Amino acid sequence: MSDAAARQFIDLAESTGGFIHDMKNHLGTVLLNLQLLGEDFENPETQRERRALERIQLMIEECRRLVDLSNDFLRFARVEQLEFSPTRLDEVVGRMVDFLAPTAKLQNVTVHWYPAPDLPEVSLDRDMFEKALLNLLLNAEDAMPNGGTLTLQSRLAADGFVELDVIDTGVGISPEAQKKLFQPFHTTKENGNGLGLATARKVVAAHGGTMTVQSEVGRGTKFTIRLPVITQ
């Protein structure tokens, strides 16, 4: 997808957000009724009832996937609707590192966080930025199925930006895949929808920043987020 095509998709996503919201509400109703129907077959006594329960459970899972996809789409479409406030980046990153720690430990991933001292505040929609950062951290975990090291480090750049690196020692990303990495609906994951990284970069851009990637297959990946500091 070219940059122009991606821009057209973003415009379409923003204009169809209301439709997706209504569709998600209908899916929620269908999901609720399927769950109630599943309760009627909670203790199947015949082969026919067991098959019916299996089909109901399958439809419940598919509905949940569609609801999740709708939520991701709405998040992508409504990135521009942000509420900014002065924020210390190290507090946000520290919170996400603490949140990630239990799952990282289970996957034999060691997390290192090196905050720069006395960083100036940046203007953030904290909730949306945390979701974008968490997406990067979870992607890094997924890239290290056999364990590894996840390093986060911040610094103040000379041009008035705060920079944050998210570095993993995972499988890496091929040059071909890097070209499409931030395109909506492009994914290499079996159960991915291709909106996570696209949304993360869009969130950073809405904050006046940039997000770039460097990667080498077999050695790991580094994402760098740049955010403008608040000027007096």
Q: What is the pLDDT of residues 71-99, one digit of tens each?
A: 666 665 555 567 889 999 999 999 999 98
Residue 2's pLDDT is 45
Q: Identify the residue with better confidence: 229 or 33.
A: 229
pLDDT tens profile 192-201: 555 678 888 8
Structure tokens given for 49: 């009832």
Bridge partner residues of 212 (DSSP): 224
Residue 226's pLDDT is 95
- Rg of the chain in Å (alpha carbons): 21
Mean pLDDT across the stretch 32-57?
Answer: 84
Binned at pLDDT 50, 70 and 90, residue 22 comes out as low
Q: What is the pTM of this model?
A: 0.67
**Residue 204 in contact with residue 133, Cβ under 8 Å?**
no
- The answer to whether residue 25 scores a pLDDT higher than 90 is no
Nearest to 94 by CA among 112, 70, 68, 120: 112
- The answer to whether residue 225 scores a pLDDT higher than 70 is yes
**Residue 223 in contact with residue 212, Cβ under 8 Å?**
yes
Residue 65's pLDDT is 75
Nearest to 100 by CA among 69, 139, 71: 139
Q: What number of other Cβ atoms are within 10 A of residue 186's Cβ? A: 18
Q: CA torsion angle for 155, 158, 213, 139 (degrees, to 10)?
A: 20
pLDDT tens profile 47-61: 888 888 888 888 888
Query: What's CA 103's distance to the chain center, in Å?
Result: 16
Element (H, E) at 224: strand 220-228
pLDDT tens profile 130-187: 888 988 998 899 999 999 999 999 999 988 899 999 999 999 999 888 888 877 665 6
Residue 14's pLDDT is 53
Binned at pLDDT 50, 70 and 90, residue 6 comes out as very low
Q: What is the CATH number of domain 85-228?
A: 3.30.565.10
State the distance between the two ends of the chain, measured CA to CA, in whole angstroms: 40
